[in-house]
Amino acid sequence: MATGTDSHTHPDALKSTIRGSGLKVTAPRVAVLEVLQHAPHSSAEQVFAEVRKTLSGTSAQAVYGILASFTGAGLVRRFDPPNSPALFECRVGDNHHHLSCVGCGLVQDVDCVIGEAPCLTPSDDSGFTIYSAEVTFNGLCRTCQATGSPATG
């Protein structure tokens, strides 16, 4: 970490973000946010494994709990692809969508086709109050198309 190639938020800013959502600032919480910045689209297990590298005493349940409270607070977004555990990312509020590879499970961000509102507004909301919209494109990534077999990643 000596070389300053960080396009990422500093720990202090992360703390403010957490506090700003009305949550107490703890080491595991900062670690979870850091992990999600470096590795978006991570599963709870993957986040757990990463967090343990720096905070070896952290439990899996803590990570599940942190991800749940962050999701509730709007700090992270949860995403449930088919045939995969839930994934988490900290890009929120920008109405972006996901490309999911059915071959290897790779998930990639895509910006919204339409722009803003239309993608968040169903034709008939049937009395629902909409909080968020999730758009997922299922397909085959470049590597899986080329090799005919799942890429490892």
Partner DNA sequence: CAGTTGTTTTGACTTAATCAAAACAACCCG
Partner DNA sequence: CGGGTTGTTTTGATTAAGTCAAAACAACTG
Residues that bind DNA (CB under 7 A): 19, 23-29, 43-45, 55, 57-62, 64-66, 68-69, 83-86
Q: How far apart are CA 87 and CA 42, in angstroms?
A: 5
The verdict on 8 binding a copy of itself (CB under 8 A) reads no
Kindly give the interhelix angle for 44-54 and 60-73, rounded to the nearest 10 degrees.
110
Q: Closest separation between CB of residue 112 and a copy of itself, Å?
A: 7
Choice between 22 and 115, CB closer to DNA? 22
Q: Using alpha carbons, list the distances in angstroms from residue 26 to 18, 29, 62.
A: 9, 5, 11
* Selected binder of a copy of itself within 21, 108, 147, 149 (CB under 8 A): 108
Neighbours of 92 (CB within 10 A): 14
Residue pair 119/110 in contact (Cβ under 8 Å)? The answer is no
Residue pair 43/59 in contact (Cβ under 8 Å)? The answer is no
The verdict on 137 binding a copy of itself (CB under 8 A) reads yes
Q: Kindly give, in sequence order, each residue whose CB lies less than 8 Å from that of residue 5, ignoring residues fewer than 6 positions away.
A: none
The verdict on 56 binding a copy of itself (CB under 8 A) reads no
The verdict on 59 binding a copy of itself (CB under 8 A) reads no
The verdict on 10 binding a copy of itself (CB under 8 A) reads no
Choice between 26 and 95, CB closer to a copy of itself? 95
**Site residues (vs a copy of itself, CB under 8 A):** 78, 80-82, 86, 97, 99, 101-102, 108, 110-114, 118-142, 145
